[in-house]
Amino acid sequence: MKIQKILSLGVLSAAMIAGVANAEVRDIRIGVDVPYEPMEYRTPEGELTGFDIELGNALCAEIGIQCEWVVQGWDGIIPGLQARKYDAIMSSMTINEQRREQVLFSDPYITPPSAWFAPADSEITTPDAESLEGKSIGVQRGTLQDNYVTDLYGDVADVNRYATADDMVLDMDAGRLDIVFLDFPIGKSTLLDSEAGNYKTVGEKISEPVKYFGEGFGIAFRQRDEELAQAFNEALATLKDNGTYEEIETKYFGE
């Protein structure tokens, strides 16, 4: 039996609540960084939606628990998990070795490739060290795209790192960036579909090597919460079998 104490620090007050928790999976909170269309974003009315949100809710329903979404900036999303601001992260987080040292991942629930996006009139055709020389590349700070671009082209190109994908799109609109490297579904939704004709993908979609691109997106838990991860893995398998997963996938990515 574990003794669970919850201590929350207020400005002047500190409250202590003592309770008893058991190994049974309980209602949880899930951390997410928005907007990252179409994975997670807000409708104009302010409601959270997207592939992650809908799949997450379906998973929680399958397990039979209540899930509450907590919005958290990307910079602090792993510390926030460890601080127990929420119990899981479902926010397009790629499974990789560095993160595995910090958190426990579920099985991958989707494996989207990354892709290069550039203005429609861009002269870059195949992004490589030669064609990217001296160009301004945009990436979101601390993402696998950042690691990939930094290691491969950091020496020849000018890498601009942004806190959010939104900042990056704004600077691309302004003409400050020659090309950006993004998760393909996000680039498709924010650049290709929303500003039809202004942008194009450049080169092939990229999902190799595994060192950078990992094994896909996973749900992150605290390392000790193995039962919780197990419950999500089982629920994911069920949803894939009964067609619910495919339904949500089609809704957000088409095809």
Partner 1 sequence: MIDLHGYGPRLFEGALITVELAVLSLLLAVVLGLATATAKMSRHWWLHRLGTLYTTLIRGVPDLVLMMLLFFGGQIGINMFTDWLYYQFDVDIFINVNEFVAGVGTIGLIFGAYMGETFRGAFLAVDSGQIEAGRAYGMSHWLVFRRIRFPQMMRHALPGLSNNWMVLLKTTALVSVIGLSDMVRVAAEASKATREPFTFMIIVAVIYLLIASVSEWGFARLQKRYDIGYGEAD
Partner 2 sequence: MDALMNWLEAQLADNSIFTLQTLSYYGDGLVTTVQLVFMSLIIGLVMAIPLAIGRGSKKAWIRLPIFFYCYVFRGTPLLVQLYLIYYGVVFIEGIQDTWLWVILEKPFVPALIAFTLNTGAYTTEIFRGAIKSTPRGEIEAARAYGMSWGLMLRRIVLPSAFRRALPAYGNEVIFMLHASAIASVVTIMDLTGAARFVYARFYAPFDAFLFVAAIYLCLTFSIIYFFRHLEKRLLAHLKPASG
What does the binding site for partner 1 look like in residue numbers (CB under 8 A)? 2-11, 21, 72-73, 75-76, 79-80, 82-85, 166-167, 170, 173, 224
**Does residue number 222 form part of the binding site for partner 2 (CB under 8 A)?**
no
**Does residue number 174 form part of the binding site for partner 2 (CB under 8 A)?**
yes
Round to the nearest angstrom and report the end-to-end CA distance of the chain: 49
Least distance in Å: CB of 213 to partner 1? 26
**Does residue number 120 form part of the binding site for partner 2 (CB under 8 A)?**
no
Burial 164-189 (b: 16+ CB within 10 A, else e): bbeebbebbeeeebbbbbbbbbbbbb
Q: Which two tokens stand for residue 242?
A: 């009964």
> Which one of partner 1, partner 2, none interacts with residue 3, CB within 5 to 8 A by kind?
partner 1
Q: How far apart are CA 42 and CA 50, in angstroms?
A: 8
Q: How far apart are CA 39 and CA 253, in angstroms?
A: 10
Least distance in Å: CB of 170 to partner 1? 5
Nearer to partner 2, 15 or 174 (CB): 174
Nearer to partner 1, 5 or 175 (CB): 5
Q: Identify the burial level of 240 via C-beta atoms within 10 angstroms of its C-beta, where 0-12 means exposed, 13-18 middle and 19 or more buried.
A: middle
Q: Which stretch binds partner 2 (CB under 8 A): 22-30, 63-71, 124-132, 167-175?
A: 167-175
Q: Identify the burial level of 145 via C-beta atoms within 10 angstroms of its C-beta, where 0-12 means exposed, 13-18 middle and 19 or more buried.
A: buried
> Which one of partner 2, partner 1, none interacts with residue 52, CB within 5 to 8 A by kind?
none
> Which one of partner 2, partner 1, none interacts with residue 160, CB within 5 to 8 A by kind?
partner 2
**Does residue number 146 form part of the binding site for partner 2 (CB under 8 A)?**
yes
Q: How far is CA 217 from each of CA 21, 53, 75, 105, 151, rounded to the nearest angstrom?
A: 30, 13, 17, 9, 21
Least distance in Å: CB of 77 to partner 2? 10
> Which one of partner 2, partner 1, none interacts with residue 91, CB within 5 to 8 A by kind?
none
* SS3 category, 93: coil
**Does residue number 176 form part of the binding site for partner 2 (CB under 8 A)?**
yes
Least distance in Å: CB of 12 to partner 2? 27
Rounded-to-5 percentages of helix, strand, coil across the chain: 35, 25, 40
- Which residues are near partner 2 by CB under 8 A? 75, 78-79, 98, 102, 136, 141-142, 146-147, 160-162, 170-171, 173-176
